[in-house]
Amino acid sequence: MKHKLFIFIASFICINAFAEKKTDKLDNNKWNWIEGSDKYQTVAIEDGYMVLKANKKNKKASDYQNCAKTFCKLPIRGKDNYNLSIKCEVPEYNAKSIFTVFFNTDKKCMDDEEGNGTFSTAYIMMVGNYWLLTLPDGRVLKDKLPGKLKKADNFPFEFNIVKKGKNVTIEINGIQIFDDEYIMTEPCIGFMVPIDNSLKIDEVSVEQASEDD
Q: 186-206, pLDDT tens digit by residue?
A: 999 999 999 999 999 999 999
Residue predicted with more confidence, 107 or 1: 107
Q: 137-182, pLDDT tens digit by residue?
A: 999 999 999 999 999 999 999 999 999 999 999 999 999 999 999 9
**Structural domain boundaries of the chain?**
21-209
The confidence score (pLDDT) of residue 110 equals 62
The confidence score (pLDDT) of residue 10 equals 42
Secondary structure in 3-state letters for the chain? CHHHHHHHHHHHHHHHHCEEEEEECCCCCCCCCCCCCCCCEEEEEECCEEEEEECCCCCCCCCCCCCEEEEEECCCCCCCCEEEEEEEEEEEECCCCEEEEEEEECHHHHHCCCCCCCCCCEEEEEECCEEEEECCCCCEEEEECCCCCCCEEEEEEEEEEEEECCEEEEEECCEEEEEEECCCCCCEEEEEECCCCEEEEEEEEEEEECCCC
CATH top class, domain 21-209: mainly beta
The confidence score (pLDDT) of residue 113 equals 61
